[in-house]
A and B are shown apart, each in its own frame.
Chain A
Amino acid sequence: MNTITKYKVFWAWQDEQEELWLGKMAAEGFHLQALVFPCVYRFEMGAPRNDTYRMDFLVDRKDYAGYLQLFKDAGWEHLGEMGGWQYFRTSRAGNSIPEIYTDRDSKAQKYQRLISILIVFLPIFMTITTRPIDPTSQFAALYFTGKLLGTFLMLLYVVAMIKIFQRIQELKKR
């Protein structure tokens, strides 16, 4: 079976674009087979299909098997997970696009779970970025690089949180 591996950066607030992209790939005959690493997808090449891809974000894994079973029963194939994101696919066609979330409230809750996880990492970055550097230390340059990287990552997290927060607000207003 022919496979290709594709690298694509995925931003946490662009999950819907990601779903559309996976659907477009399928329409061109590239079907998601596995999630290799973050941002690395493996596709199986075959006949074009009109599939729908959806991503869920799961935190509480007490009943993971039951969760997957429910999706399976409802016609969703689980393709794997990456950093809490659950990738699902369905070939089910009808007059409406199949959805895993059928109301705005539950969809907003998905993004609230995402935010709750992002917030956990913030104090770590804050600690890294606010720690004073001893300029006489032989590792000063290394610390400085770490601080720069930490600052960059923290900014990214803040941007992600703002974007996701906006998504939640959009879903909550009518």
Chain B
Amino acid sequence: MDEQISRYLPLTEATAYILMAVVEPLHGYALMQKVEQMSQGTVRIGPGTLYGAFAQLEKEGLIRMVKEADRRKSYLLTEKGKTVLLEHLRRTELLVTYGRMIAKEM
């Protein structure tokens, strides 16, 4: 399983935010707004990038389409997506913890 999960890691900053955003069903534009808010404006996702990311993540089985209304598809994180995201967070935490320690000595 670890091998399987490692394939998707590390997540890019944008991908990590996308996965975090779809813990509730969201369509594209709502997601773009949520990511901008979550990241305090540091991460913006354009529609071209997001359209490709949705297709890619759905193909990889990390998210799935749960609703389609008015030509807007809503996606939700899958169990596999959750596992990948949690592993990414665990690794990032290690990085941050160690980084803070180093930073104190600098």
CB < 8 Å: which of A71, A99, A102 contacts B14? A102
Question: Is A56 part of the binding interface, using a Cβ–Cβ cutoff of 8 Å?
Answer: yes
Residue of B nearest to A74 (CB): B47
Of all chain B residues, the one with the shortest Cβ separation from A70 is: B28
Question: Does A67 sit at the interface, judged by CB under 8 A?
Answer: yes
Q: Count chain A residues whose beta carbon lies closer than 8 angstroms to a beta carbon of B.
A: 26
- Contact residues in A for B4 (Cβ distance below 8 Å): none
Q: Which of B46, B53, B71, B73 contacts A74 (CB 8 A)?
A: B46
A interface residue numbers (CB < 8 A to B): 54, 56, 60, 63, 65-71, 73-74, 76, 96, 98-103, 105-107, 109-110
12 contacts between A and B (CB under 8 A): A56-B48, A66-B73, A68-B71, A70-B29, A71-B47, A73-B47, A74-B28, A74-B29, A100-B46, A103-B49, A107-B48, A107-B49
Which 6 A-B pairs have CB atoms at the shortest separation, nearest pair first? A73-B29, A100-B48, A106-B49, A69-B71, A70-B28, A102-B46
